[in-house]
Amino acid sequence: MLEINEKIDELSVTFKALSHPIRRQILDLLHNGPLSTGDLDEKFPDVTRYAVMKHLDMLESAKLITIRRVGRVRMNYLNAVPLRQIYDRWVNKYDDQDAASLIRLKEKIEQKTGRNEEMENGLKQDSFQIEQEISIKAPRGQVYKALTEEIDQWWAYRLSGSAKSTLTFEPTVGGRFLETWSNDEGALWGVVTYVNAPEEIRLNGLLGMKGAVNSAYSYTLEENGDETIVKLSHHASGLLDPEWKQMHDSGWQELLGKFLKEYVESGKRPEQAE
């Protein structure tokens, strides 16, 4: 009963944060990319800076935005994970269509095989940054172990197609996040560049993208009572497909906000990983 009440309280905070039109407008603005608090203040000339700050505080309390400080500037990022969790609870179970994911990205690239010219014309020099955070009701060490040693149990996205594959993660500097399948075939999802277990781990990896792309992502784990806050940061730059940011944003929401969270909290594994 306590767990049910906690989930209801979380939903209440989220719905309350979404109830005000200015807060919804702020989320719409951040959907296009991060903005400083000063930039957001300028978007609402008829609203005091104090009121804008109060709205941002409410969104941060509901975990709908994450804050990163760059020097003395406060940057605000959309954190769509709570929205994804509402979607999974209230919409997805009644909908036969799967949410966009990194696998969709892989399939999209494969569909363009043989159309390299069209693919090249669709790419442009660009960059994106994704910031997300989720709360998992478990000790930090347990979450860190799930993120690394137990990744095959919950990371549902595979590059092997229909072939059965195995994921391994070596949580040491230079270690590989690797997927292998039959006939000595495989794919490298990432290489570890920094480790401070169980607080932080960073990797370089394409995550479904290909070509002239530099992509790095990291997990930071913070203790918060009996919960662990997982903060994801993913930055990519180079020749990018305009759809890659949205697809990776959605993919991370599903991977961390649903699959990882459910695996750690209840032991539930996604079908793709079984």
Q: What average pLDDT does the segment 121-129 reach?
A: 83
pLDDT greater at residue 10 or residue 142: 142
Question: Rounded mean pLDDT of 45-55?
Answer: 90
Contacts of 97 (CB under 8 A, 6+ apart): none
pLDDT of amino acid 2: 43
Write down the pLDDT at residue 90.
Answer: 63
Q: Would the pLDDT of 108 be above 70?
A: no
Strand 200-204 versus strand 166-169 pairing type = unpaired
| Within a domain: 241 | yes
Residue 163 lies in a domain: yes
* Assigned domain for 84 exists: no
Give the tens place of pLDDT for each residue, 56-78: 999 998 889 998 888 889 999 99
What is the CB-side half-sphere exposure of residue 59 using CA atoms within 13 A? 29
Structurally, the chain folds into a number of domains equal to: 2
pLDDT single digits (tens) 221-233: 999 999 999 999 9
Q: With 50 as the cut, is the pLDDT of residue 20 above it?
A: yes
Least confident of 96-100, 190-194, 204-208: 96-100
Note down the domain range covering 210: 102-273
Tell whether 212 and 255 lie within a shared domain: yes
**CA dihedral of 151, 152, 156, 157, whole degrees rounded to 10:** 90
**Residue 4 burial (CB < 10 Å; 0-12/13-18/19+)?**
exposed
Q: How confident is the model at residue 33 (pLDDT cuts 50, 70, 90)?
A: confident
Q: How many residues does the chain have?
A: 274
Determine, yes or no, domain membership for 132: yes
| Domain co-membership, 225 together with 173 | yes
Mean pLDDT of the 87-106 span = 55
pLDDT of residue 115: 46
pLDDT, mean of residues 165-184: 93
Residues paired with residue 216 on neighbouring β-strands, in sequence order: 204, 235
Q: Are residues 175 and 220 in the same domain?
A: yes
Are 180 and 229 contained in the same domain?
yes
pLDDT at residue 70, as a whole number: 84
- The dihedral over CA atoms of 245, 250, 251, 257, expressed in degrees to the nearest 10, equals 140
The structure's pTM equals: 0.70
More confident residue, 33 or 252: 252
Q: Which helix (H) or strand (E) holds 113?
A: none
Q: Are residues 263 and 178 in the same domain?
A: yes
pLDDT number for residue 11:
72
Q: Is the pLDDT of residue 104 over 80?
A: no
The H or E element spanning position 60 is helix 49-61
Looking at the fold, whether 106 and 151 belong to one and the same domain comes out as yes
Please give the pLDDT value at position 167: 96
Whether 181 has a pLDDT exceeding 80, the answer reads yes
> What is residue 111's predicted lDDT score, i.e. its pLDDT?
56
